[in-house]
Amino acid sequence: MWTPNVTEATSATEVSPELLKPLVAVVATLGKLGATARDVPLAKPWGSLRAGLLNFSSGVREAMRHRHGEATRLRRTLSAAAQPTAEGPGVPKATAVAIACEWLKAVASVEAAWAKLKVEAAGLKDACEVAAAAGAAAGATAEATVGHLMGAVALETEARGGFLRATHLLPMTLEPTEVVEVVAAHDARVAEAQSGLQEASKATEEAAAAAVAAVTARERGRQAAVAHELLGDLVVACDGAYHYYCHLQRRVKDIEAMVAPKATQGDPGIPKGLAEAVAVAEALWGASACLAQEHLLGTLRVVRGLLSTGDTTEATAVAQRCQDATTALPGLLPKGLS
């Protein structure tokens, strides 16, 4: 097997641990959203902010698993293909071409997953922007609806007082000829007062519902505005993760191009620079897989708990785990690559 010795032909920025930071940032930002975002209703197809984030986090989990293509087998076989042994040449170059093609498909699959996630994050961000604008509009009327409620309560209080006055006991000293007239008039006053009280109560209920709706919409709009800002960070992080795998895909394409001509010409020689190219691509692919397995997938499970239950007690732990993952980045790349 090769050792990843990289010549000066490889730029330090092409294998820098900085390239891995967006992967950590995706999980860290989801953690912030899980700690601060409430279940804000959003337009279709999202349904709500939490539902959208849960679905999004499932996509992140799948993208980080590197499940396609059995990359370890591909890398090792490709290494053996280009490395003759004392017993004879390594794996036939035609096999190396096929394996390089498989590896390229594996990387492209992850790249496509991040491209999709970037679009989804942008969609969630746009939906939150609409919700935030609606909340701001509702907030402008919230004070008016509360004022209307206070007025309705005052009218209901007045109507209730009128009803109580109307239901006072009839005078005990009445002439027999006056009883029917007085009772009829009394009943009419009670019925009128009762009708007025019912109308006032209904108006109060309607004003209260309008006030609650306006205040709730204002609060949801505020929460959507907070989420909108964090989702902007998430879009940037997803874009960085996408470009990480674009960068890796270009390297594997170069490997495929370096091996292919030799295979078609039947030349058993090792193409110049192939060892370095494979070493760098191996390291980049392996570093992202190791980062996910050792740090991010476990943290992502905690984040999903935050999103599912709304319990923010683990928010600090998520932030610390993401900080630990960032600290570990330089050690994920073999010496000579970072």
- Give the Cβ contact number of residue 177 at 10 Å: 7
Q: Indicate if the pLDDT at residue 99 is higher than 70.
A: yes
Neighbours of 12 (CB within 10 A): 11
pLDDT of residue 1: 30
Torsion, Cα of 258, 67, 122, 42 (10° steps): 170
User: Tens digit of pLDDT for each residue in 21-37?
Assistant: 999 999 999 999 998 87
Q: Is residue 175 part of a domain?
A: no
318 pLDDT more than 80 = yes
pLDDT tens digits for range 104-157: 988 999 999 999 999 999 999 999 999 888 887 766 665 566 666 576 667 667
Q: What is the model's pLDDT at position 85?
A: 52
> 122 lies in which domain range?
12-137+218-332
Look at the alpha carbons of 7, 12, 16, 22 in this order and tell me if their dihedral is positive or negative: negative
Tokens of 65: 């698993």
Mean predicted confidence (pLDDT) in 86-103: 70
Predicted TM-score (pTM) of this structure: 0.75
Residue 152 forms part of a structural domain: no
Residue 115 within a domain: yes
pLDDT digits (tens, 9 = 90+) for 149-192: 576 667 667 666 766 776 765 555 556 666 667 667 767 777 77
Residue 157 lies in a domain: no
Any domain includes 230? yes
Cα–Cα distance for residue pair 220/216, rounded to 1 Å: 6
Number of domains in the chain: 1
Q: In this structure, is residue 178 part of a structural domain?
A: no
CB-based contact 100:68 (threshold 8 Å): no
Q: How far apart are CA 56 and CA 58, in angstroms?
A: 5
